[in-house]
Structure 1
Amino acid sequence: MKPLCGAALLLLLLCAAVSAQSPCVCEKNKRVTNCRMDSGVCRCEAIGSPGVTVDCSTLTSKCLLMKAEVMGSKSGRREKPKDAFEDTDGLYDPECENTGAFKAKQCNGTTCWCVNTAGVRRTDKHDSDLKCKELVRTMWIIIEMKHAERDAPLNAESLKKFFTDTITSRYQLNGRYIASVLYENPYITIDLKQNSSEKLLGEVDIADVAYYFEKDVKGQSIFHSNPGLNVSIDNEPVKLEKTVVYYVDEIAPEFSMKSLTAGVIAVIVVVVVAVVAAIVVLVLTRRRKGKYVKAEVKEMNEMHRGLNA
């Protein structure tokens, strides 16, 4: 009887082992490979990052997602905070830490730059001697969207509830990091705030949430079985025409004048030209006034001489 019990126990252990290593689907990231169940959790290898495993029960870091994307593709509103900036570089092949975080210094050949925790360039581009002392935390992310033209504005409260529920459930972000959801027809602005002292170990990062969200809105969802984000307010579909993401770091970015966009430079040039033109007009006006005063004095003197003659 004992040999039978031993064989049965061995069979159960073998079944458990096979079950623990059975293939699985990573619902929150389709840019993975070699997926296996491990202690009840689906774990996979990130594409483009050999040896780096991702936990499919939560969002994957933005750095690993960008790395995988590069390997696969090979290719009237509220005033913004003074130090808010956009990602003007787009997709690049990032260097990631084993934890999935961006390395503070990123390079493309001999050209290097410093990035924040969202992987967005925050300095000018330099040669390989560039020093990036630390990975600066992105503490505030502003997602700004514009919906298509409508006959009537959306209900602000319903809109706020939709995006709050979506961010907390679909992207698993703690609701306390959603600072506000503002509607200024036709613009929708979502503020996500999370500084280094607030973020708890294991919590989803706002940079990862913004990346997943932006991909969803553009119809390039990273989720495996949920192809995209259908925005519906009060059971009415809402079409988004434009989405822009701004980043605010704990330390202000270090861009020089030469890194300003053509639009900003054009504005500066227009302002300078306007100031110079105003100065020229002022000088000419004063000169004309001076000549008029001198002519008037001369005429008065001639009149006095005529009277005294």
Structure 2
Amino acid sequence: MPVNCETLTSKCLLMKAEMTNTKSGRREKPKDAFQDTDGLYDPECENTGIFKAKQCNGTTCWCVNTAGVRRTDKYDTDLKCNQLVRTTWIIIEVKHTERKTPLNADALAKLIKDTISSRYMLDGRYITGVVYENPSITIDLKQNSSDKSSRDVDIADVAYYLEKDVKGDSVFLNNPLNMSIDNEPLVLQNPLVYYIDEVPPEFSMKSLTAGVIAVIVIIVLAIVAGIIALVLTRRRKGKYVKAEMKEMNEMHRGLNA
């Protein structure tokens, strides 16, 4: 398909190209914020480059948002995804490596905003916040469908480019992310991305990860072990009291004799 060199390539097409070539915080999150737990997959894209609302892998299907992130449980091919739900808010958390000089929060926020605007061509009005709590940096990108014009870069594409830049796997050939402040490089690491859709996700208890299930099992086992220990302790105490009473009775009989 034709490529427009004046804007970013969509995340959906980038993921598809990657699959083709590889087939060999700190701040409290909003209630409906969720992460991408599936990673890279071979997506179905519309002719415009956006994700199709329904994605499948063989006989397993699920619904995604405009960032291509699964927002439902996985079902069979009969699943209906009536619309592509828009991701209106993306929270990106990164940390910077150890520095010789401390960072000024205002200077850092300006650097982050300028870098995102120039490198990813995102209109600055969609960068709604940069919060710094050493060494964590939280970046808020917000973009409602009513605000976004056809010429505006999508925040989901920007988040994807930025995440790959931080991981050292830049989409820009021979042009890695380089930032510096106070004449010292600013090196980012450990990116975490959270998505908030205009409609809450539809996950059930079946979507609990193995890690969460393991924690629940450990807690249950700990409670059971505590109950067993308590019962055994009371039994031993009861036997001790009975033995003590028996010895006392024998002593009284000996004295009476």
* TM-score normalised by length of structure 1: 0.69
Please report the RMSD computed on the Cα atoms of aligned residues, expressed in angstroms: 2.4
Secondary structure of the equivalent of 2:156?
A: helix
Secondary structure of the equivalent of 2:49?
A: coil
Question: Which residue of 144, 150, 158 maps to 1:195?
Answer: 144
Question: Which residue of 118, 128, 131 maps to 1:179?
Answer: 128
5+ residue gaps, structure 2: 235-257
Deviations 1:9-52 (A, max 9, x none): xxxxxxxxxxxxxxxxxxxxxxxxxxxxxxxxxxxxxxxxxxx2
- Corresponding residue pairs, total: 233
Structure 1 stretch displaced more, 68-77 or 229-238 = 68-77
Contact kept in structure 2, 1:138 and 1:249, CA below 8 Å? yes
- The alpha-carbon deviation at position 231 of structure 1 amounts to 2.6
Name the residue aligned to 1:140.
89
Name the residue aligned to 2:156.
207
Contact kept in structure 1, 2:166 and 2:189, CA below 8 Å? no
Name the residue aligned to 1:255.
203
* TM-score normalised by length of structure 2: 0.82
- The alpha-carbon deviation at position 116 of structure 1 amounts to 0.4
- The alpha-carbon deviation at position 148 of structure 1 amounts to 1.9
Distance 1:270 1:63, change over 3 A: same
Distance 1:258 1:276 in 2: 24
Distance 1:276 1:176 in 2: 54
Name the residue aligned to 1:242.
190
Secondary structure of the equivalent of 1:214?
A: helix
Question: Which residue of 20, 23, 26 maps to 1:71?
Answer: 20
Contact kept in structure 2, 1:158 and 1:234, CA below 8 Å? no
Distance 1:189 1:265 in 2: 29
Contact kept in structure 2, 1:219 and 1:227, CA below 8 Å? no
- The alpha-carbon deviation at position 269 of structure 1 amounts to 4.5
Distance 1:72 1:217 in 2: 21
Distance 1:148 1:128, change over 3 A: same
Contact kept in structure 1, 2:93 and 2:139, CA below 8 Å? yes
Distance 2:30 2:161 in 1: 23
Distance 1:234 1:267 in 2: 44
In the alignment, does 2:92 pair up with 1:169?
no
Contact kept in structure 2, 1:181 and 1:189, CA below 8 Å? yes
Distance 2:95 2:149 in 1: 32
Deviations 1:152-181 (A, max 9, x none): 532211111111001111111111100101
Distance 2:28 2:219 in 1: 20
Distance 1:235 1:118, change over 3 A: same
- The alpha-carbon deviation at position 275 of structure 1 amounts to 7.5
Distance 2:181 2:66 in 1: 32
Distance 1:156 1:87 in 2: 29
Distance 1:142 1:235 in 2: 28
Name the residue aligned to 2:37.
88
Secondary structure of the equivalent of 2:3?
A: strand
5+ residue gaps, structure 1: 1-51, 288-309
Distance 2:195 2:61 in 1: 20
Question: Which residue of 106, 114, 123 maps to 1:157?
Answer: 106
Considering only CA atoms, is the larger Rg found in Structure 1 or Structure 2? Answer: 1
In the alignment, does 2:48 pair up with 1:99?
yes
AA in 2 matched with 1:223 = F
The answer to which structure, 1 or 2, has the higher relative contact order (CA under 8 A, 6+ apart) is 2
AA in 2 matched with 1:227 = N
How much identity, in percent, do the aligned residues show? 73
Contact kept in structure 1, 2:89 and 2:142, CA below 8 Å? yes
